[in-house]
Amino acid sequence: MARNISLDLLKLVMAVMVVGLHGGFLSEVDQLASWLTVNGLFRIAVPVFLIINGYFFHDALTAGRHWAWLRRVGALYILWMTFYFAYWIDAPAPLLVVYLVFGWYHLWYLPGIFGAALLLVAINRIWPQRTAHTTAIVVTAVTAFVVGVAIQYAGNYSLFEGLAHRLANIDQSHRNFLLFAFPFFSAGYLLKNCSLIEHFSAKTLVAMSAIGLASIFTESLLNFRFPAIIGGLDNMFSLALLAPSLFMLSFHLPLKGEHAKTIALISSGVYFVHPFFLDVFRTAFNDPAPTPMTVVVAFCSVLASVALLMVHRRLPWIL
């Protein structure tokens, strides 16, 4: 039976963006174009994923299936950390602890949604009345988001000195379950809990998305022009508008299909396996050109994800 596949296609596009982000898309072509994508447009991918997960976590929480949901996330984390075991096991002891707690490389996402979901469960238990727990979620999410952005910018622009500077430039200080994952995860939860999507027309969401795109390119360009920036960007102010706007807009796009679940699983597979192929190509071809490598790795990741679908039929917790 045909159903709206817009959201599933959005997930696949976001997964490919993550490949481009990690692959250094366009970096050998033009420095500015690469910056505007890798440290601009492509940064919407993970927040959109977080909103999607939070949106569907709502049903698990209200139905009392949240512990099963959390166990599944934990199983995914153990599986993929085991798959990438060789990449992190030889790290120095302090870094090894960081990897185990926060996740290696892209796998930080799983502890991120695990922690965000636990926090939502706690808020729901402490403030069971709808208005109270909605207020608590909004206040916590907005505060966490602002603090996360502030820490990253303070680190990138060397506003601190000594230990504070070093801590601010550690990814985990701002890209964690509380300061990055929870704001977007909880946004998805609230969109479902408060039935907010139906209050926005397609035209309004197109306008919001356009403003969000203009904002993220502007924010990215300003960061590019500022000579003192250190490192890339995860926490960006513009994401607060753009990510939820694109997510809500997908519900208004009349794209019908019969393989929505398959597309969604492929997008998950691309996210999980692409670092493996990036490493294979960088090793085999001695630092290949990033743009064609990104295209090839995305294609290989899709093929590998299709193969994983067959395994998924017997082991549903791998994707």
Token readout for 288 is 């290949």
Question: What is the torsion angle, in degrees rounded to the nearest 10, for the CA atoms of residue 233, residue 134, residue 190 and residue 115?
Answer: 50
pLDDT of residue 60: 97
Question: Please, are residues 28 and 291 in contact by the beta-carbon 8 Å criterion?
Answer: yes
What gap in Å lies between CA 155 and CA 223, rounded to an integer? 13
pLDDT tens for the chain, residues 1 to 319: 456 799 999 999 999 999 999 999 999 999 999 999 999 999 999 999 999 999 999 999 999 999 999 999 999 999 999 999 999 999 999 999 999 999 999 999 999 999 999 999 999 999 999 899 999 999 999 999 999 999 999 999 989 999 999 999 999 999 999 999 999 999 999 999 999 999 999 999 999 999 999 999 999 999 999 877 777 889 999 999 999 999 999 999 878 777 778 999 999 999 999 999 999 999 999 889 999 999 999 999 999 999 999 998 888 888 8
The neighbouring-strand residues paired with 38 are none
Residue linked to tokens 């090894």: 96
DSSP class per residue in 174-220: TSSIIIIIHHHHHHHHHHHHTT-GGGS-HHHHHHHHHHHHHHHHHHH
Predicted local distance difference test score (pLDDT) of residue 1 = 47
Q: What pLDDT is recorded for position 95?
A: 94
Predicted pLDDT at 90 = 95
Whole-angstrom CA distances from 215 to 203, 237, 247 are 18, 9, 17
Q: Hey, where are the domains in the chain? A: 1-38+259-319, 52-255
Residue whose C-alpha is closest to residue 233's, from 148, 144, 116, 114: 148
Q: Which residue has the tokens 């039929």?
A: 313
